[in-house]
Each structure stands twice: as structure tokens, then as C-alpha cells.
């Protein structure tokens, strides 16, 4: 997870907690988790996929602020 992804993830830690809880309690390993950041006065809302290592999010086209514009590869 790079610096930008860490900043996105830290704003919504419950998503990561839920994914880890399902992994530990139900044996369901997380695939891609989407991190979201709310809009602020300085930046628009954005989302990014957090990919399973060693994959990284690669921009595929579209709105660069939306996770759907990226693919883990």
C-alpha cells in the first residue's frame, strides 16, 4: 500500500476491520478492498482499490478519482 492509499484507508478503517474480521472468523480472505476519502475544501471525494500484494492499482481510464477506473494487476 503506497502513501496515498494509506491516507485513503485511514479515513475509513472500519472497511479494513470488517474485511480482516471476515478473514479471521470465517476464513474468507479479502480480495480487493475499496478505500474511500470524503471530499474536502482542497480535494474532491475519491476512491481507490487496495490490491492484494504484489498487485498494484493500474489506471484503466475514466474518472481518476473513482476506484472503478483502476484494475489490480
Q: What would the pLDDT profile of 39-56 be if each residue is shown by its tens digit?
A: 888 889 999 998 988 999
Instruction: Extract the C-alpha cell encoding 47.
Output: 476512491
What's the rounded mean pLDDT across residues 16-31?
Answer: 89
**Contact (Cβ atoms closer than 8 angstroms) between residue 53 and residue 72:** no
pLDDT of residue 65: 95
- Residue among 5, 64, 63 nearest 33 (CA): 5
Q: Which domain holds residue 35?
A: 3-72
Q: Domain count for the chain, please give it.
A: 1
pLDDT of residue 17: 86
The span from the CA of 59 to the CA of 23, in Å, is 28
pLDDT of residue 1: 46
**Contact (Cβ atoms closer than 8 angstroms) between residue 51 and residue 57:** yes
The span from the CA of 71 to the CA of 68, in Å, is 8
Amino acid at each position: 500500500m503506497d502513501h496515498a492509499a494509506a491516507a485513503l484507508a485511514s479515513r475509513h478503517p472500519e472497511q479494513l476491520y470488517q474485511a480482516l474480521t471476515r478473514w479471521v472468523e470465517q476464513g474468507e480472505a479479502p480480495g480487493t478492498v475499496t478505500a474511500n476519502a470524503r471530499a474536502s475544501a482542497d480535494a474532491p471525494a475519491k476512491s481507490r482499490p487496495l490490491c492484494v500484494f504484489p498487485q498494484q492499482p493500474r489506471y484503466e481510464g475514466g474518472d481518476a478519482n473513482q476506484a472503478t477506473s483502476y484494475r489490480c494487476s
